[in-house]
Amino acid sequence: MGRYANRIAHGRFTLDGTPYQLTTQENGHSLHGGTDGFDTRIWEAESVHTPERTGVLLHLRSPDGDQGFPGNLDVTVSYLLGRNDELTLTYAAVTDAATPVNLTNHAYFNLEGEGAGDIYDHELAVDASHYTPVDGDLLPCGEHLPVSGTAFDLRSPLRLSEALARSEHRPTAAGGGYDHNFVLTPDGDGTLRRAAVLRAPATGRCMEVFTTEPGLQVYTGGQFDGTVVGKSGTPYRAGAGIALETQHFPDSPNRPGDPSTVLRPGDEYRSTTVLRFGIRG
């Protein structure tokens, strides 16, 4: 997802005194880079093989003015699967003009298997003490709040059905599920650390998420309505999968208190996410 994963309010931001208008969708806001984001593009691809890893290296050139963003941006992303059941996602980008950059992966996971039903019996733990409250358009509407005493307190593993049934501060947007940013580290220092653990008790399958990003957008697929049909022929309905999107915070170009997403000429955007798979009884 790019050039900017998540939402930018009204598709507008000002950078170095210059205002910019992006293409918009989602109630007049920009989502995941605009109407023609990076997920719709054909990327250049080459296979990668080493004694320890195998995968693919992708490259994309995003021209100046793409969806309204300034600067020519060259992006590379690698997906490498290791012998220890770890999938490593590495992102890099350079630009010739200052521009916001926020890249992520938006795969959905159901550890009970494709077409097996919803993920509400999965257990989720998120290593975050704060989250970002949102308004009806799922835009940040205040300062980061403590998760204590709310449905966002996932510091210990909790069944998603139980978390979403909590009466206090129950998520009301996103079809009654999560579509919220969890604050992993408020300073965004780039250290690789654990962000979340997802487990399906029915199968024992487990996925740990590690990232250098300061935030994790948890989306429980509340807007699936059956129009998307999976490989098994099963229509995907609410909760068919969960996305754990490692990224910077939503609408950061308009929120100076959040870690900056601005990439400048001469600097390199770098981001790493590791998905570690296993079985836990």
Which of these is catalytic: 123, 208, 213, 245?
A: 245
Which among 188, 193, 196 has a CA at the least distance from the CA of 269?
188
Q: Is 59 a catalytic residue?
A: no
- Distance CA(28)–CA(49), nearest Å, equals 43
- Distance CA(212)–CA(214), nearest Å, equals 7
Which of these is catalytic: 10, 59, 106, 169?
A: 106
Contact between 135 and 50 (Cβ < 8 Å): no
Q: DSSP string of 25-51?
A: BTTTBEETTSTT-GGGS--EEEEEE-S
- Distance CA(9)–CA(139), nearest Å, equals 7
Contact between 164 and 92 (Cβ < 8 Å): no
Can you state the percent helix, strand and coil of the chain, rounding each to 5? 5, 40, 50
Structure tokens of 188?
Answer: 């965004």
- Distance CA(250)–CA(241), nearest Å, equals 21
The neighbour count for residue 25, using CB atoms within 10 Å, is: 13
Q: Is 245 a catalytic residue?
A: yes
**6: region left, alpha or beta (phi > 0 left; psi from -120 to 50 alpha):** left
Which among 144, 138, 108, 106 has a CA at the least distance from the CA of 30?
138
Please state, in angstroms and as integers, the Cα–Cα distance from residue 69 to each residue in 19, 20, 249, 253, 265, following that order. Answer: 10, 7, 18, 12, 14
Residues classed as catalytic: 106, 245
